[in-house]
């Protein structure tokens, strides 16, 4: 039994219209299952197209719901589609979540800093020219600074000037912190043939210790000045350049020792055998005043230069170039060449005095060089030695002229340029300062 949807009157089974109001009768009810319902009235085909998720439905149930009447079908399809969609949504979310938390996902951000290998950065500066005589007081031939971002890197640093220095090798670990090295490779031993200026190559390399990759492979042209080249004045250091001449003081050089030996003969000769050695500040007992021991030894050294070693004063002009550069021979070379200008004979004299343990001072009047020797240790009294008197006569008058005593007051006037015999204001350089100032002669 069915009832009319409009008026509620009974409709006989099989009747298509309500006998009371004439309304179309509803289809036979099949509330339990949709399957067996016969197709009583096909719906228009577009109705089928309204179910885009149909593909998700089981194939065994091909479009069965679509056979129902339109109103009934519309009421029941929406929740079904929503349910399917929600299920799919949850499924996909789960899939994405699992992907997202699977550990080996591609979504982990890749930051640039973490991707980079440790990257060393090397900077360096190279000295353009080298004065060999001052090499031991040179701060650095190469100044190396480096860092390494993003980790550590061990590198091998090598620096060499072939034919001049030994190879400097240093392994360092570079980090983010600055590494700074002042590099001065040790000099080669033996004769370096530095009698004249020459061009050289400074070879510098920095190599990664683990890979052997060259970070720096450079060769710079540098000028090796002659070992005789001295510079007396620069804008940067002014007259302080005078101090560098201490590197020419070579009290242990063979020529200086030979001169000292010859001075013994000269001393013996002028003292009639009473003085048989260069003893420095020791009293021979020959003079009433101990200071005359010093005077006699200074005279003997000058006399040996003059008469035994036959050194002659090279009366060349005080030839200083526009760069205030001058060629100054070492004492050994003065002995070998048997000639020298004032600075050279003064250095030879001062070296010999120092070799004997005496306190020598270089005096630089304008355009000239002389030597002072302390008359006796700790007295502050000095003899002035004019070393250019070559040859020197073997007379007491000549001796007194070459090695002249001056009082302290006379010295004050002599040095400040106001004294009667002064040659002008003098630069004064204590020969004992070499060690203190770090200005030392070349070792070869």
Partner 1 sequence: MKVTEKHGAHAKLPAALLSMLLILPILTGCGADATLPAEISNGIAQSEGHCEQITAIINWQLDGNAAYREQRDKFKESGDPRDEPQDTYDEVVVKYDELSAVMADLSVLKARADTLPPGGNDAETAIIQAARDYFAMLDAACRDLDAVFTYYFAMRDAMLPMRDFTAAENTTGYNDYALFAGQLSQVISQTQSKLESVSCPGYMSDSHSAFTARIDEFQSFCQDFSIAVQLSDPLRIASCNYRMQRLGLMLDKCDDALTDDFALQFSRVAERLNGTAAELRGELLAYV
> Rule CB under 8 A: which residues touch partner 1?
46-47, 49-50, 52-53, 74, 78, 81-82, 85, 88-89, 92-93, 95-97, 99-101, 103, 105, 107-109, 111-114, 139, 145, 147, 149-150, 176-182, 237-240, 242-243, 361, 363, 372, 374, 378-380, 382, 408, 411-412, 415, 426-430, 433, 436-437
Q: Between residues 57 and 149, which has the closer beta carbon with respect to partner 1?
A: 149
Minimum distance from residue 119 beta carbon to partner 1 (Å): 10
First to last CA, the chain: 133
Minimum distance from residue 362 beta carbon to partner 1 (Å): 9
Q: Between residues 146 and 356, which has the closer beta carbon with respect to partner 1?
A: 146
Q: Between residues 13 and 102, which has the closer beta carbon with respect to partner 1?
A: 102
Minimum distance from residue 3 beta carbon to partner 1 (Å): 27
Minimum distance from residue 275 beta carbon to partner 1 (Å): 26
Minimum distance from residue 422 beta carbon to partner 1 (Å): 12
Q: Between residues 15 and 412, which has the closer beta carbon with respect to partner 1?
A: 412
Minimum distance from residue 278 beta carbon to partner 1 (Å): 22
Instruction: Give the closest residue to 188 by CA, choosing from 218, 171, 160, 164.
Output: 164
Residue 272's SS3 state is coil
Q: Between residues 292 and 414, which has the closer beta carbon with respect to partner 1?
A: 414
Question: Can you say how many angstroms the Cα of residue 432 is from the centroid of all Cα atoms in its chain?
Answer: 33
Kind and range of the H or E element at 371? Answer: strand 370-374
Minimum distance from residue 10 beta carbon to partner 1 (Å): 32
Residue 125's SS3 state is strand
- Residue showing tokens 């050695």: 277
Q: Between residues 91 and 316, which has the closer beta carbon with respect to partner 1?
A: 91
Minimum distance from residue 223 beta carbon to partner 1 (Å): 22
Instruction: Give the closest residue to 365 by CA, choosing from 392, 389, 386, 339.
Output: 386
Q: Between residues 14 and 103, which has the closer beta carbon with respect to partner 1?
A: 103
Q: Between residues 233 and 427, which has the closer beta carbon with respect to partner 1?
A: 427
List, as own/partner pairs, every contact residues 190-197 make where C-beta atoms lie below 8 angstroms and the sequence separation is at least 24, other chains included.
190/444, 191/444, 192/132, 192/163, 192/164, 192/227, 192/444, 193/163, 194/132, 194/164, 194/224, 194/226, 194/227, 195/226, 195/227, 195/228, 196/226, 197/223, 197/224, 197/225, 197/226, 197/229
Strand partners of residue 165:
187
Question: What distance in Å separates the CA atoms of residue 289 and residue 312, rounded to the nearest whole number?
Answer: 32
In the sheet that holds 142-149, the strands lie side by side as: 119-126, 142-149, 179-183
302 and 349 in contact (C-beta within 8 Å)?
yes
């Amino acid at each position: 039994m069915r009832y009319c949807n409009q008026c509620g009157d009974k409709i006989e089974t099989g009747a298509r219209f309500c006998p009371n109001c004439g309304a179309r009768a509803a289809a036979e009810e099949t509330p339990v299952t949709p399957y067996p319902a016969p197709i009583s009235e096909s719906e228009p085909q577009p109705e089928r197209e309204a179910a885009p998720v149909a593909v998700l439905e089981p194939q065994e149930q091909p479009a069965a719901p679509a056979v129902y009447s339109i109103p009934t079908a519309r009421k029941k399809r929406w929740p079904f589609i929503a349910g399917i969609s929600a299920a799919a949504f949850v499924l996909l979310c789960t899939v994405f979540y699992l992907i997202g938390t699977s550990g080996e996902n591609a979504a982990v951000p890749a930051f640039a800093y973490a991707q980079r290998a440790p990257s060393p950065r090397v900077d360096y500066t190279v000295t353009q020219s080298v004065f060999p005589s001052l090499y031991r007081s040179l701060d650095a031939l190469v100044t190396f600074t480096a860092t390494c971002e993003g980790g550590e890197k061990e590198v091998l640093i090598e620096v060499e000037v072939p034919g001049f220095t030994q190879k400097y090798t240093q392994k360092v670990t570079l980090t983010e912190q600055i590494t700074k090295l002042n590099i001065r490779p040790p000099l080669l031993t033996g004769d370096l043939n530095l009698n004249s200026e020459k061009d050289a190559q400074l070879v510098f390399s920095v190599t990664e210790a683990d890979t052997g990759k060259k970070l720096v492979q450079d060769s710079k042209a540098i000028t090796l000045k002659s070992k005789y080249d001295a510079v007396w004045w620069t804008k940067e250091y002014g007259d302080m350049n005078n101090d560098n001449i201490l590197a020419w003081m070579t009290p242990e050089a063979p020529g200086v020792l030979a001169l000292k030996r010859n001075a013994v003969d000269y001393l013996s000769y002028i003292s009639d055998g009473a003085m048989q050695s260069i003893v420095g500040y020791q009293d021979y007992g020959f003079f009433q005043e101990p200071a005359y021991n010093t005077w006699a030894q200074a005279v003997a050294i000058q006399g040996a230069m003059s008469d035994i070693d036959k050194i002659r004063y090279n009366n060349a002009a005080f030839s200083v170039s526009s760069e205030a550069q001058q060629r100054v021979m070492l004492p050994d070379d003065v002995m070998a060449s048997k000639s020298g200008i004032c600075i050279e004979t003064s250095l030879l004299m001062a070296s010999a005095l120092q070799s004997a343990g005496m306190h020598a001072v270089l005096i630089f009047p304008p355009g000239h060089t002389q030597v002072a020797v302390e008359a006796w240790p700790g007295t502050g009294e000095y003899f002035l030695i004019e070393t250019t008197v070559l040859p020197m006569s073997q007379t007491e008058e000549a001796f007194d002229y070459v090695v002249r005593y001056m009082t302290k007051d006379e010295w004050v006037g002599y040095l400040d340029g106001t004294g009667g015999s002064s040659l002008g204001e003098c630069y004064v350089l204590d020969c004992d300062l070499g060690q203190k100032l770090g200005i030392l002669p070349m070792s070869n």
